[in-house]
Chains A and B, each alone.
Chain A
Amino acid sequence: MAEVLRLSNIGKVFGGIEALKNIDFDLREGEIHALLGENGAGKSTLVKILTGVHQADSGEIYLYGKKVKIANPIEARKKGIGVIYQELSLINSITVGENIFLGNEPVSPVFGKYDRKRMYERSTEYLNQFGIDIDPKELVSNLRMGQKRILEIVKALALNAKILLLDEPTTGMSNKEIDTLFDIMDSLRQKKVTMIYISHYLDEVFRVCDRATVFRNGRNITTFDVGKTNTDEIVMAMIGKDVKQNRTVPVRNLSGKETALEVKDFRTSIMKSPVSFSVKKSEILGITGIIGAGKSELAHSIFGAAGPHKGTIKIFGKELDMHSPIEAKKYGLAFIPEDRKTEGLFLNDSISDNIIRANIRMIEGKNHLLKNKLKTKITVDIGNKLEIHPLEPGMSVRNLSGGNQQKVVIAKWLVGNPSVLLMDEPTRGIDIGAKAEIYAHIRAMSIQGKTTVIMSSEYEELLNECDRILVLRSGKIVGELDPSKTSKSELLALSLGGKHK
């Protein structure tokens, strides 16, 4: 097969960090080539270089054997490189046809009038070509997610794209829509369109791709022929050296303890499928899964922040009649959200104001005035326990380091003395020292009898800190593992899905 695109020795540095290093990569005409790798491995940076969003610092790009420079997205498009981004780039308030031809409208010679008739005829042709049943005169805002993504592909093809980059195209699609997408990709392959396919789901890669290149730490490690490899080989390439747990504390067997939290056939509108699991008193349960697996959705749902639910949640045997976080809090649940800056903190407010916010009544006197001295005392007490530094109650949270901000979020919920804590990515983006302190505190709370559920995508911390690990994939629990008997590769393989031998 002819070579369409070749990257030679591509490198890219962001603020002193090498995002890509010595990338050599080639695309053959009419192939579907998967890019695989953990978050931060360099896939997105590569895509952005190919689409002209970023420029490589070193190395060359050859298109059909000719050396090219891709200065901006418009130039990439002119060179026949089309992208289907995760965030849709369609315009909701105009029609399907107008979107397909946006920036490229057929114009009739009279007064530069927009030739709608011809535009809709050609739109219909394009849509029929792929057997897509969408009315070109429909407004895009009336389409479903899957239809929109397919429309993005049609739009790219209308601009004569010869190379299509698909970034997680199946996100938010139903199974039927995924089938349609793969049929379309198949027919494009026969028309010699070359595709780069980025996905976290290995089963999709095995279903539709010809070759797969694995990235790790900004380098491309290996390229596999998909037909000649298996899940284990790919996973090993993705993580490099396998990590077993390296625990300082033993995994506890808590099966004799009473059940603290029981979730049964539980589902809300933001979850893909119902889940059931239970957590023992003082247990530290880890729940993992790749982005999009539904960890955050599950946490938000249990905390009542995602609207009405089906199924039941019990805390110490008592069924919760729960509709909102206000009730969840009353039942002793606490939730530490993933994004502390937008969901957890009031950045401009002081440390003490942030800590007391969820429990303002604690400092409310009989005359309804707030007792500021008590607020400071509570802040200092909890701050010392969590080692918040600097512990100046009046200081704006904005000025704290990420790790200390996270401790403030945790402190905020500990003040209310919850019995069950849900933590969504509790150590994301914070330094190793602060991580260790947070985990030491979680463990100390566990010994006092508090129950913790940690949603995390950091396998090492799960292996080292949790008593049990559940793996989520596409919203379903697909595995329950004992951290002392598993490894990073097993967790990743389970998360990615589809064992292929």
Chain B
Amino acid sequence: MKTIKGKQLLQGEWGLLLILVVLCLVFSFLSATFSSLSNLLNITRQVSIVLIISIGMLCVVLCGEIDLSVGSTAALVGVGCAVTLKATGSLPLALLVTLVLSLAAGTVNGALTVFGKIPSFIVTLASMWIIRGIALVWTSGRAVSGLPKGFAFLGAGHIGIIPVSTILCLLLILIAFFILHQTRHGVYFRAIGSNLEASKLSAIPIKKYKMIAFIIAGLMSGIGGLITTSKLLSAQAIANEGMEMDVLAAVILGGASLSGGIGTVIGTVLGALIIGVINNGMNQLGISAFYQQIVKGSIIIIAVLVRRNKDK
């Protein structure tokens, strides 16, 4: 008996889809260029970085934790990748550095939270600055540019007409959907965030899963940083600044609860797309970036208010 009332339907993922569709219709009505295929594909490319990092954030948030260092990690990884690539010209080596740096960031965040027993908000607030600081020191604050043209394939290339980063993003979404919704691991993430004590009594390895969540977040941030660097063919220590807020916005808009236990991959994808469409649409209409911030903030408040009625 899975009869959902109309109102509930609007508050779930269908509601997000509806918002997305309405936004698209409004923008295509107001702007001639918005609904062109190339612009729509462009949106998917634009959101792919936020979206990939959001998936990592979702894992952390499901466990009842938070990771504020995702933007900094993306920047550090980008810098590490670019510096290695420029110095050695070896792509495999650059990718290895990317991997090591992202895993290291996630592991340190996770270990301090899980074993150091410091609230993750504090851990990652601090590591947000530390990681960014390392990147700044490493580059002396200068951009690392002049990377080989071929490296742009990941961030700016296309397969057919579809951007490579969109394809990569889709692939990661599918994997995340499979793990978080089709395996017991997803149930464990939710259980830990929802009721820690009951999870312990159900013999769920809490520490392991929290560590894994932070490591996934680090890894996803690293991939985000890699795409950013590839897209621009240069890396900067100040890249992706404030990214953690866009990512959190996508996750929250997608229906995840910051107190843990609640959240879906589809919701997160829709949340990120809604933010992407608003950004792109308003750019198409030539609306000032100042107003865009107000609109983004308002939409988040409204979305959370609507959700709260459901929980009541």
Contacts and interface: CB of A to CB of B under 8 A. Distances in A.
Interface of A: 73-74, 77, 88-94, 98, 102-103, 105, 107, 111-114, 116, 135, 137
A102 B193 CA distance: 14
B257 to A, nearest CB: 8
Nearest to A103: B202
Nearest to B200: A73
Task: For the complex of A and B, list the 7 residue pairs with the smallest distance between their C-beta atoms, beginning with the closest.
Answer: A93-B261, A103-B202, A89-B198, A105-B184, A93-B194, A103-B203, A102-B202
Contact of B190 (A93, A107, A114, A135): A93
B191 interface: yes
Contacts of A103: 202-204
A68 B191 CA distance: 31
B293 interface: no
B182 A105 contact: no
Interface of B: 1-2, 178, 182-184, 186-187, 190-191, 193-195, 197-199, 201-204, 257, 261-262
Contacts of B197: 89
A93 B198 CA distance: 12
Most buried by B among A103, A105, A111, A137: A103
B262 A102 contact: no
Contacts of B202: 89, 102-103
Contacts of B194: 91-94
A135 B197 CA distance: 25
A415 B274 CA distance: 57
B193 A93 contact: yes
A94 B198 contact: no
A94 B184 contact: no
A102 B2 contact: no
B131 to A, nearest CB: 31
Given A91-B198, A93-B194, A137-B2, A105 B187 contact: yes
16 contacts: A91-B190, A91-B191, A91-B194, A92-B194, A92-B195, A93-B190, A93-B191, A93-B193, A93-B194, A94-B187, A102-B199, A105-B184, A112-B183, A113-B178, A114-B187, A116-B182
A89 B184 contact: no
B198 A114 contact: no
A112 B178 CA distance: 11
A102 B187 contact: yes
Nearest to B192: A91
B195 A114 contact: no
Interface centre among B191, B193, B262 (most CB of A within 10 A): B191
A90 B201 contact: no
A47 to B, nearest CB: 14
A135 to B, nearest CB: 6
B183 A114 contact: yes
Contacts of A116: 182
Given A93-B261, A103-B204, A113 B195 contact: no
A73 B193 CA distance: 20
